[in-house]
A and B are shown apart, each in its own frame.
Chain A
Amino acid sequence: MIELFKLMRNKRMFMLMIGFILFIAVIGFSLSDRKELTWPEKFLKDTAAYVQQWFYKPAGYIAGFFEDIRNLRIVYEENEQLRLTAAAYARDKIEYNFVEKENKRLKEELSFTERQKEMYNYNYLIAQVVSVSNDANNRSLTINLGSKNGVRPNMAVTTIDGLIGLVSAVTPFTSTVTPITELDEASPTFNSIAVTILGREDDSFGILSSYNKETSRLLMTKIDEDDKLTVQDTVITSGLGNVYPRGLVVGTVESRQVGDFGLTLTATVELSASFDHLTEVFVVQVPELEDTEQ
């Protein structure tokens, strides 16, 4: 104890201790379950994003130009594939129109409420990425839409390829997206996402619980024992719980195993979206529903 007091007499040691206590206090404050950011944070984030957007986009154009030249060779193959997809799309579109009309008629006949009808009517907001964090353990992205544009925390963010993350914090003009690679069961700051399999939406169920950075695969847990899930199935969000929208592509199943206790299955999922060189992303706006129906 006396040794400690002797140490404390040293001014430098004393300042270090004060600094350390302050640091722990600030971390504790930021880890607590905050609904909103404080105004200095909002101001700093908005200012930084305002400046960064002048740099990110031109850099993207220049880099994109060189990439385009490299991609010239594979354009023909891609074109062939796209033509096939377009043909399939035209067929499906006709069928979709019939099904949609019928669905609408049935909803009318069953007298669905306005709330039930609007439940899956999602709005896709297009946003520009402004910057990417340079911290290996916190790869958050900043996008240029904020609470003034109707973005709220916990909204899903996708690219054309698939789900990339969730909005974790919003300021008036920007919002921070936590990528899906930060998903972790043990972490105090993240939620899990309910998913299902494309084509068997009613039969399959699983929860994306964590992302393994060492193998760069997502872990899907709590799958029923007699689920017919197979390798190469496409995993999509199920929208159960109505927090995250349904029907967003997450990735493909790579392997399935028996879970920890032998009662459920787990599967590893390969992400379909890539996190490098992002430009445009879509924020999926779930319709705001008044739960009170008076």
Chain B
Amino acid sequence: MSMNRIILLMLLLFIIEGAIMPWIIPAGFGSRIIPHFVFVAVVFAALYSGRHRALLLGVSFGMLQDVVYFGHLIGAHAFIMGLIGYFTGMLLERRRATLMMAVSIIGMACILYDTAIFFIYRVFRITSETYAWALLEHILPSLFLQLAFALACYVPARRLFEAQTKANPETEEE
């Protein structure tokens, strides 16, 4: 029941970042501020619900994004989202992250995510920009949007994911 609700809310986030955010971002900043709300939700899942769930959500929503916005290659978002979700969960799921900690983790994860995606495109010669330029052009400006979103959604997201874990705790093999 609760898992269904989480998936539904994340689908809504996915639609918002593709269809509504382009209108909210002021003209001229369209290619600089880029929303990654679904990814923020995956990191929340890793922090408050466990690494396996984060892996599953990351891979499936990453794949959805790859297929729906297919331009050059499929699989990059799925792999990176799943991987970052899993490792964040592995490092931090036992600790109860506070607001400051959660926000800083999300900030770091966003930089890591954008960097990894950038380098995948670099390896396959789809972009030829330098990393320093990409960092200043879109990675750092969009980081602020992600942080604002994480702050705004911290309380409901934490409640949602923690309720989910309490309802049916994952069976850990360790």
Chain A residues at the B interface, C-beta cutoff of 8 Å: 16, 19-20, 23, 26-27, 29-31, 37, 40-41, 44-45, 48-49, 51-53, 55-56, 59-60, 62-63, 130-140, 142, 168-169, 176, 178, 181-182, 184, 186-189, 213-214, 274-277
Question: Whole-angstrom distance from the CB of B42 to the nearest CB of chain A?
Answer: 14
> Roughly how many angstroms separate A45 CA and B71 CA in the complex, as a whole number?
12
Given A44-B68, A214-B129, A276-B28, A59:B79 Cβ within 8 A: no
Contact present for A169 and B70 (CB under 8 Å): yes
Which residues of B have CB within 8 Å of A178?
71
Which residues of B have CB within 8 Å of A276?
22, 25, 27-30
Interchain CB contact (< 8 A) of A132 among B18, B72, B73, B83: B18
Which residues of B have CB within 8 Å of A140?
69-71
Question: Whole-angstrom distance from the CB of B122 to the nearest CB of chain A?
Answer: 9
Which residues of A have CB within 8 Å of B15?
48, 51-52, 55, 131
> Roughly how many angstroms separate A137 CA and B120 CA in the complex, as a whole number?
10
Which residues of B have CB within 8 Å of A59?
19-20, 23-24
> Roughly how many angstroms separate A45 CA and B127 CA in the complex, as a whole number?
24
Q: Mark B114-135, 1 if CB is under 8 A from A, else 0.
A: 1001100100111111100110
Which residues of B have CB within 8 Å of A53?
19
> Roughly how many angstroms separate A152 CA and B31 CA in the complex, as a whole number?
27
Contact present for A274 and B27 (CB under 8 Å): yes
Which residues of A have CB within 8 Å of B25?
276
- Chain B contact-residue range equals 35 or more
Closest to A216 in B: B31
Which residues of B have CB within 8 Å of A181?
31
Sampled A-B contacts (5; CB under 8 Å):
A27-B75, A31-B72, A37-B70, A56-B23, A59-B19
Q: Mark B53-72, 1 if CB is under 8 A from A, else 0.
A: 00000000000110111111
Which residues of B have CB within 8 Å of A31?
72-73, 124
Contact present for B18 and A133 (CB under 8 Å): yes
Max chain A C-beta neighbours (<10 A), residue from B30, B65, B138: B30
Contact present for B75 and A136 (CB under 8 Å): no
Which residues of A have CB within 8 Å of B127?
137, 184, 213
Contact present for A188 and B125 (CB under 8 Å): yes
Closest to B79 in A: A23
Max chain B C-beta neighbours (<10 A), residue from A19, A60, A134: A134
Question: Whole-angstrom distance from the CB of A224 to the nearest CB of chain B?
Answer: 26
Closest to B16 in A: A55
Contact present for A134 and B35 (CB under 8 Å): yes
Question: Whole-angstrom distance from the CB of A240 to the nearest CB of chain B?
Answer: 26
Question: Whole-angstrom distance from the CB of A21 to the nearest CB of chain B?
Answer: 11
Max chain B C-beta neighbours (<10 A), residue from A45, A52, A135, A214: A135
> Roughly how many angstroms separate A59 CA and B20 CA in the complex, as a whole number?
6
Interchain CB contact (< 8 A) of B76 among A27, A40, A45: A27
Contact present for A29 and B72 (CB under 8 Å): no
> Roughly how many angstroms separate A214 CA and B132 CA in the complex, as a whole number?
11
The answer, yes or no, to whether B137 is at the interface (CB within 8 Å) is: yes
Nearest 8 pairs of A and B residues by beta carbon: A133-B69, A131-B18, A26-B75, A138-B71, A30-B74, A276-B30, A55-B19, A56-B19
Q: Mark B76-114, 1 if CB is under 8 A from A, else 0.
A: 111100110000000000000000000000000000001
Question: Whole-angstrom distance from the CB of B142 to the nearest CB of chain A?
Answer: 8
Closest to A41 in B: B67
Contact present for B64 and A132 (CB under 8 Å): no
Given A52-B15, A214-B129, A139:B24 Cβ within 8 A: no
Question: Whole-angstrom distance from the CB of A127 to the nearest CB of chain B?
Answer: 15
